[in-house]
Chain A
Amino acid sequence: MPLREAQAIVLRTYPLKEADKIVVFFTREYGKCRGVSRGARRMKNGFGGSLEPLSEVRVGYFERPRKDLVTIDRCDLESSMMQLAGGDMTRVLALAYIAEVADRMLPEHEVNDASYRLLRLVLGRIREGLPVWLPLTYYLYWMVRLGGFMPSLAACAGCGVAIEAEQAAFYAGDGSGLRCRNCRPRQGNELAASERGLTGLLARSLAELPGDGWENGRRGRELRRFLHAAIEAQIEAQLKSWKLLEELENEPGI
């Protein structure tokens, strides 16, 4: 049972037995892993606040032969999600959604340096105080691109005709891609030209992007819905935290 050490980001935890937790964490060196942290739910435990979702940690764990679950030996906190959220409900829900997208999209034990760097970059920019809607939209855009299932924004998925930059385009909630007016799905939403144009912005480095205009959830809302539909279609499952985030987005003043 060799001890492995890695930089990791905690994605989520589940209660196990009386006082233990199953922890899903994403390491740069070994990909996504699942492990048991014994006694993590007790008042006095060696893990402290390090196992909260999206905490950046240095984790030490033992792998067991022919076992999927590793045994977490220690977990040193480097940056906490609770500080990241900063007492803001929008951030709490956006961070939960980011954690869920990462957890559902990343396969286990598969090294994915680009996704790791993306997640760290996004969390870093949120920590710096960038309005959360920009890093959230950036994260979705790049997770879809890195996953290799970005729907074409230039051609109709139904008839293949080119969709010009200023033309209206539509999409259904099933992630089946962008459609022209003629192929418009019956219960579809419009992805306005201005929203499609954001992808040019998001293709740049997040470090270069200013947060102006992203203070509320209006900008990029339809693009996020479009990308979210693509992700759900890809993973063939619903992301549970999306509903709460959408409810918050629809509140006046958000």
Chain B
Amino acid sequence: MDDLAAPLTRLIEELKRLPGIGQKSAQRVAFHLLRADRERVQNFADALLALKDQLGFCGVCQNITDIDPCRYCADGGRQRDCICVVEEPANILNIEKTREFHGLYHVLHGAIAPLQGIGPEQLRIRSLLERLRAPEGATPIREIIIATDPDSEGEATALYLARLIKPLGIRVSRIAMGIPVGSEIEFADEVTMLKALEGRRDL
């Protein structure tokens, strides 16, 4: 590293901080950018800065957005009495890909993780509860779908939210868990199979 020019070393060090990028990958990207024409590098730098300058949180659902409220909250065609609660903004994209859910979202930005000391106060739960107290004339919320990860942290978060929301008389449901499509029952463990049986449906 001492043999490289200071700006190149600096870029490599910055790239190495990104997830999944080690020394060799960082060097490859740095040399690629060095060889690229100035306009392309400028576009790349602008795109990075725009992330910080133009994006913020939606004041309603806490999704990451460049407009407030975000396009899901502002869309008058969506079902406004149902909110799907997710851990991360990226989860919304997966749900949207199904084209089956037409309600609103709420992003918690994490899950209750006792082993990491992450409690409910570090998540965007207060803003969710504020949404449930609909002002006069607004559509009351009838259902909350909890779409947190099917692991111990996601389950803890779901349980916590259910404890808070159920007393408000709002239906609280949890996305189904079980056998992934395309896999085989033969390889399912007991807890996955149990969850699949619990979440079975009539045909």
Chain A interface residues (CB < 8 Å from chain B)? 12, 17-18, 43-44, 46, 48-50, 52-53, 55, 76-77, 80-83, 85, 87-89, 92-93, 96-97, 99-100, 240-241, 243-245, 247
Among the listed B19, B188, B190, which residue makes an inter-chain contact with A80, where contact means beta carbons less than 8 Å apart? B190
Contact B119 A48 (CB under 8 A): no
B192 interface residue, CB < 8 Å from A? yes
B7 interface residue, CB < 8 Å from A? no
**What distance in Å separates the Cβ of B60 from its nearest Cβ neighbour in chain A?**
27
Among the listed A55, A92, A97, A241, which residue makes an inter-chain contact with B155, where contact means beta carbons less than 8 Å apart? A92
Query: Secondary structure at chain B's binding surface: helix, strand, loop or mixed?
Result: helix
**What distance in Å separates the Cβ of A60 from its nearest Cβ neighbour in chain B?**
15
Interface size on B, residues (CB 8 A): 27
**What distance in Å separates the Cβ of B13 from its nearest Cβ neighbour in chain A?**
20
**Contact A89/B159 with A17-B20, A83-B194 known, Cβ cut-off 8 Å:** yes
Chain B interface residues (CB < 8 Å from chain A)? 19-20, 112, 114-117, 119, 150-152, 155-156, 159-160, 163, 180, 182-183, 187-192, 194-195
Contact B114 A97 (CB under 8 A): yes
Q: Report how far A92 CA is from B160 CA in the complex, Å.
A: 10
Q: Report how far A116 CA is from B162 CA in the complex, Å.
A: 34
Q: Report how far A76 CA is from B150 CA in the complex, Å.
A: 18
**Contact A77/B114 with A44-B183, A88-B159, A89-B159 known, Cβ cut-off 8 Å:** no
Of B119, B150, B189, the most chain A CB neighbours within 10 A belong to B189
Q: Report how far A43 CA is from B112 CA in the complex, Å.
A: 21
